[in-house]
Amino acid sequence: MAKILEDISRTFNEFLLLPNLTDERCIPNNVSLRTPLVKFKKGEEPKLSANIPMVSAIMQSVSGEKMAIALAREGGCSFIYGAQTIEAQAEMVRNVKKYKAGFITSDSNVKKDATLREVLALIDRTGHSTVMITEDGEPNGKFLGLVTDKDYRVSRANLEEPIENYMVPVEKLVYAKKGITLHEANDIIWDNKISCLPVLDDNGNLDSLVFRKDYESDKDNPYSLLDDNKSFVVGAGINTRDYAQRVPALVEAGVDIICMDSSDGYSVWQKNTIDWVREHYGDSVKIGAGNVVDKEGFYYLADAGADFVKVGVDGGSICITRETKGIGRGQASALLDVIEARNEYYERTGIYIPVCSDGGIVHDYHIMLALAMGADFVMMGRYFARFDESPTRKIKINGQFVKEYWGEGSNRARNWQRYDMGGEAKNKLSFEEGVDSYIPYAGPLKDNVELTISKIKSTMCNCGSITLKELHEKARFTLVSNVSIKEGGAHDVILKDIQLDR
C-alpha cells in the first residue's frame, strides 16, 4: 500500500525566525560564517571549508570561470557546470586555479621573434596584459624579457614588427631568484614600485611570477577562499555517465571538490560513481551527491560515502519537475527531514556530513532560514545568475536590463546526462524539466554578496548566535499565515515612489 506522509510539504515562505536573547557578543563583527564543505570525524577539522555559506549552482547560465573567481574572492565556492565537453570544463577549472596565486606559472609566453600582432592576439585570448618572452616561447624557458600594454602604442606601431623591439630586456628588469618567500617577493614589488616580479632559477629560466595585484587583492578581500598554494578554491559538476573520463581531467586541472549534478540523487548511479571515485582516488577527491528530499535519500548517500549531501527537488525558480512529473517536496520540509537524519547519523557514527540546501531561495531571508534550519551552506542559481559575472548576456527589455537564465532541464541546456536513468544514451531530452527565462539584472557580485552577508550576520545576532553551529542549536521558528506574511511588508501607507494622481 502506498505510504502518505502526514506532514504538509512546506516552503521557506511559511516560516519566520523568532528572536533569541541578544547578548554582548552579538555584534556583526563577531559573527563567523565559516562552514564545512566536506565531511569530517568528530574532534577533527574538515579538509575543506568555506568562509561564507554560499555556493553557486552547477548551471550553464550561472557558474563559469568568472563566477568562480568572483565568488571565491568573497569566500564562497562555485561549481563549474558540467554540461560541456570535458576539455572545456577542465580548462575553466585550470584558468580559475591559475588566476590567483602567490607564485603563478606564466600562461602568456612568446618567442622574441613573435610579431606584435601575435602578442595582441595572445592578450585578447588570455586577458592578461603582461607577456613573457622566453627563448623557446615556453613558460619555463630561458627568460629574455617581458612586454606590457604600456610598452607599445597600437595606433602608431607596426604590428608586423618582432616583439623583441618592444620588450623590456631582463637586464633592465627587477627579478628574484627561485626560493624567495612570498613575503620577500611582495617587499621587492613594493620597494621597486613594479607590477610584476619574475622569479628565475639558477640557469636564468623563468620559474614563476608574482603580481602586485594579487597582494592588493588579499588586502581588499580578506575572506578569499584559497588553497595551500594561494589559488582560488573551485568546484565542478559531474554526471553519472562519463565520470571515468571527466573526473581525472578535472583532478589534473586542479579541482578542489566535485559534485554530481542530478535532479534525483537517491539513485544507484550515484553510488556507482562514488564507488569509482573511492576506488581510484580514495578520500583525496571530495565528492558531493544529491539531490534528495528525505531521510532515506540522505542515509543512502551517506552510506555510499558522499562528502556532502544536496537537498531539494524542484525548488528552483526555473525548475518544473513537480509540474511535469509530480515528484518533489517543499524545500523547508525536505531540509528539516534531512537535517534530522544528518544529526542522527553524526550521533551514531561520529561522522558529520554537511548538508547543502539547493533551491527554494527567492529572498535573502530565505538563505537565513535555510541556515537556521540546519543547512551548512546553500547552493543558488537565480541569485548568482543576476550578476555581471554569470556567463549569460545582459540585454534590455522594455527599458529594463535583464540577464538570461535557463534551467539545466530545459532544451536549451541540452544536459541529457543530468537526467540519465542508466539506459542507452540518446543525447537528447525526452521532455523538459526546466524553463528558459530572464531575470532582473543586479550588477556586480561583490556588492550584492556583501549586502546579503550583512543581513545574515545581523539576523544571527537577533537569534543570539555568532556561529552557524550555535545558530543550528538555538534557532526557533514559527509558522506564518497569509495574513501574517502580508503584515510583514509595507502596508496601509502610500509609498513615496508611487505617483499620486493630481
Question: Which residues are marked as active site?
Answer: 319, 418
The DSSP result for 62-106, as a single string, is T-SHHHHHHHHHHT-EEEE--SS-HHHHHHHHHHHHHHS-SSB--
Calpha distance 477→15 (Å, rounded):
6
The grid cell for 426 is: 540518446
Strand (E) or helix (H) holding 275: helix 268-281
Q: Which stretches of 154-267 are DSSP H helices?
A: 182-192, 212-220, 243-253
- Under a CB-based contact definition with an 8 Å cutoff, are residues 409 and 91 in contact? no
Cβ pair 356, 55 in contact under 8 A: yes
3-state helix, strand, coil split of the chain in percent (to 5) is 35, 20, 45
Question: CB 41: neighbour CB atoms within 10 A?
Answer: 12
* Residue 266 main-chain phi, psi, to 5 deg: -80, 75
The cell for 172 is 633592465
Quick one: 277 exposed, middle or buried, by C-beta within 10 A (0-12, 13-18, 19+)?
buried
CA angle 440, 444, 449 (to 5 degrees): 95
Contacting residues for 428 by C-beta, under 8 A, at least 6 apart: 414, 416
Specify whether the backbone of 399 is left (phi greater than 0), alpha (psi in -120 to 50) or beta.
left
Strand, helix or coil at 359? coil
Rg (CA), the chain: 25
Q: What 8-state DSSP symbol labels residue 500?
A: P
DSSP 8-state class, residue 196: E
Distance CA 212, CA 429 (A): 48
Residues 325 and 372: beta-carbon distance below 8 Å: no
- The grid cell for 4 is 502518505
Which residue type is seen at 120?
Answer: L
Number of C-beta neighbours around residue 57 at 10 A:
27
Q: Write the CA distances from 298 to 50, 108, 258, 303, 356, integer angstroms.
A: 22, 46, 18, 9, 11
